[in-house]
Chain A
Amino acid sequence: MRDEIQSYNLPDDCGHFGPYGGIFVAETLMEPLEALKAAYHRYMKDPEFLAELDHDLNHYVGRPSPIYHAERLSRELGGAQIYFKREDLNHTGAHKVNNTVGQALLAKRMGKRRVIAETGAGQHGVATATVAARLGMECVVYMGAVDVERQALNVFRMKLLGATVVAVDSGSKTLKDALNEAMRDWVTNVDETFYIIGTAAGPHPYPAMVRDFQAVIGREARGQMLGLAGRLPDALVACVGGGSNAIGLFYPFIEDRDIAMYGVEAAGDGIETGRHSAPLSAGRPGVLHGNRTYLMEDEDGEIIETHSISAGLDYPGVGPEHAWLKDSGRATYVSATDAEALEAFHILTRLEGIIPALESSHAVAYALKLAPTLSSDKIVLVNLSGRGDKDIHTIATREGIVL
């Protein structure tokens, strides 16, 4: 397995990362997935498409996003130098928009007038509604009823942008159920609809396609680190929900085998309590949402409910490429509890004047543990996947503050 990492060219033509990934969907979706795969292969080689994508990323999203050396935080921790890739500074406030800009351009090329999306924290929903507004497309966003409640600000943003937000009341009423409902919409309206999946999961070609659109994070980071520090980092850290910001950072470094990669899952109340969202840390391989990957399931193969303070990490599966990177040993998957993420949220806010998203706070929490174990000439690059504005209410409520 380890040797295969040396020249990395996964997935195979059917979307397999070793035993993971693939296409596990109802027959009606096979044809649209085939059409999507063909369009994705064609346009990712089309100079005109790539030029338009670059243009939008630069002038609309605000790329390249900066890299910031957190000197004060690094000094306080007394270990490795911490750098942040500032995806929180993107238009709409998170990395999600890198992918929605790309998929919406594909949708346009494929002649689709209607886009749909699932969302957990609402960041992907906002990023989808944003590009749909700009391109004049109809947009429907599915969101678990629980998440509609805890991310009310983003629900309002999506509505302002002209999207229809559908609260999903089935199952656990969170991200996985929103994904189920989006799949049901897609199978029903398949001819005119493009499904913009928000993370590096789902049936092939989504995991590879979302990775490729998010890989701009890691590509930029390579050049920026060389410019700023004169060398590449020693370790990469990113939070993992479905895994898109993490794979976006990791992918361009996969063949640099000396660079450690840490994916941070949500440990919720603690892995040992069972109330968490950490399938790579505590789950088993299975099939859900179109791909084979690590899942949180009971002994009968029913998917179990997850828990995390951050809606964007509250998902029982994970992108199949992370499952493969875990098994192959190329990446290491760790976790941070709600309490650790909250503590990290406050530390970053007070020491560096950066208010991170709760999702990203999980990555920060692990960096706070990792940096002191390394010498001060080492570099840890953390993906700051989003900003915390959307989470202010959650944090206030948790801390008993009435706004």
Chain B
Amino acid sequence: MSRLTSTFEALRQAQRKALIPFITAGDPEPGFTVPTMHAMAEAGADIIELGVPFSDPMADGPVIQKASERALVHHMSLRKTLDLVAEFRRTDQTTPVVLMGYLNPVECMGYQAFADRAKDAGVDGVLTVDMPPEEAGEFVPMLHRAGVDPIFLLAPNSSDARIERMAALGRGYLYYVSLKGVTGASHLDLGDVESKIAHIKSLTGLPIGVGFGVKNAEIAAAIGRFADAVVVGSALVEKIAAAQDRPEQARKDIADLLAAMRRALDS
């Protein structure tokens, strides 16, 4: 059983919901990332999503775009992101780590080489924003064989046929994008999300995470009432942007927000 599957299984038995923070690897500089991953785990994160910086983050709003730009100034890359995961794994063998990014750096490394290196580094899941299942025929089986879970994004306008297809190919969990828009948007309609999640759950037994537009503990708690996991990204990355020269402060602000979300989710 993969680390993601067993994490969700344990949460289900404890009747708890997963809290999944996202930060961009190497933002604002490479040394910030691993200590912050540990701090997030300590503050109550169940799974960590690590963004792989890309020069052309088409699906991201300004907050995560700037995070990518800050990381790229330090020449952060897919290879170095894998190194950071390996470093994290030296002292944390339990918290699952999911890489989230765009396809081109993976294509450039080569699908098989990437699957092997991700496995070796201790990566548990991979979410490639711009690779729909139609184009994933070669890559997904390589991830399956390496024991790395491919994670697909579902959108408000995904058809049932597509949901079923992604549920069949996906492992670990499915990620429901709560709104039509980019990361960091804020026009989320909780009623819509709730009914869509109920519908998706009628089509698949995989856990469902919800992300995009989760800004605070109240929204996290509301989503936790009907989804299995809550993903929070831009709200954390904003803390980094606001305290770029004060890493201890940024790390503390991130941990505080996560701890508040944790409390709200658990109450």
Contacts of B65 in A (CB 8 A): 170
Give 29 pairs: A residue, B residue, CB < 8 Å, sorted on A. A24-B130, A24-B132, A25-B58, A26-B59, A26-B153, A27-B132, A27-B154, A27-B158, A27-B162, A28-B155, A31-B155, A170-B65, A171-B56, A180-B56, A184-B59, A184-B61, A184-B182, A187-B59, A190-B180, A286-B107, A287-B102, A287-B104, A287-B107, A288-B56, A289-B58, A297-B108, A301-B106, A302-B55, A303-B55
Q: Pick from B54, B103, B177: contact of A28, CB below 8 A.
A: B177
Spot the interface stretch: B1-9, B71-79, B203-211, B227-235: B71-79
**A301 contacts B104, C-beta separation under 8 Å:** yes
Additional pairs, 16, CB under 8 Å, beyond known A28-B155, A183-B59, A184-B58: A23-B135, A24-B131, A26-B177, A27-B152, A28-B156, A32-B157, A170-B65, A184-B60, A187-B59, A286-B107, A300-B108, A301-B104, A302-B53, A302-B55, A302-B77, A303-B55
The verdict on A396 contacting chain B, using a C-beta distance below 8 Å, is: no
Chain B residues proximal to chain A, CB less than 8 Å: 53-62, 65, 69, 72, 77-79, 102-109, 129-132, 134-135, 152-159, 162, 177, 180-182, 185
**B79 contacts A300, C-beta separation under 8 Å:** yes
**B134 contacts A297, C-beta separation under 8 Å:** no
Contacts of B106 in A (CB 8 A): 301
A-B contact count (CB 8 A): 119
Q: Pick from B135, B159, B182: contact of A187, CB below 8 A.
A: B182
**A31 contacts B108, C-beta separation under 8 Å:** no
Determine how close the nearest CB of chain A comes to the CB of B227; give it in whole angstroms.
17
Chain A residue total in the interface (Cβ 8 A): 39
When each residue 269-288 of chain A gets 1 if its CB lies under 8 Å from chain B and 0 otherwise, what string results? 00000000000000011111
Q: Pick from A23, A170, A187: contact of B134, CB below 8 A.
A: A23
- B interface: dominant SS: loop
**Residue of B54, B108, B162 most packed against chain A (CB within 10 A):** B108
Contacts of A286 in B (CB 8 A): 104, 107-108
Contacts of A304 in B (CB 8 A): 55
Contacts of B134 in A (CB 8 A): 14, 22-23
